[in-house]
Amino acid sequence: MKQCATVGCENLIEGNTILCGSCNRNIRKQVDEIKKAEQRAWRKLTKPKPVYKKPNNVSPKMQVELNRYNELRKVFLNNNPECQVGIEGCEKEATTIHHMIGRGKHLNDTKYWLACCMNCHVFIERNPIEAMKRNLSFSRLTKTI
């Protein structure tokens, strides 16, 4: 018989093992806890982050307007397949609509729409003063256009 190899344990053991049953169980528990912690950490790292989904706060009246907008948008882009802005870096194919006077009450008013490519639309949105100089946008604060 020999003494358990764990520091501070005075239990005696028999056979080929170096740990008593009590110390062996404790070490296995610790190893299992470490493995579980590693698995949790790995899952946390590899788990895709949830995408925040904005609650649907659209009124029934606005939903009707948006449905109408989607129909008009498809027709407008079919009738105007080329970008109407044409600044430097233009992609030529119209894929989006720029609302020259904002979307509020003029959301479905096609006379204030411009069919444009994404590059031109980004330019207009990032350079509002230049866009106004080129008559690509109008101030929403002005009463007349």
pLDDT at 72: 95
CB 124 within 8 A of CB 117: no
Give the Å distances, CA to CA, from 55 to 8, 52, 66, 89.
Answer: 60, 9, 16, 37
pLDDT surpasses 60 at 144: no
CA atoms of 95 and 49, how far apart (whole Å) = 30
CA atoms of 45 and 48, how far apart (whole Å) = 8
CA atoms of 130 and 137, how far apart (whole Å) = 9
> What is the mean predicted confidence (pLDDT) over 17-21?
87
Beta strand 113-116 with 12-13 is: unpaired
Give residue-wise pLDDT tens across range 25-83: 998 999 999 999 999 888 888 877 777 777 778 888 999 999 999 999 999 999 999 99
Task: Give the three-state DSSP class for 94.
Answer: coil
Residue with tokens 């207009």: 124
Which residues lie across from 93 on neighbouring strands? Answer: 82
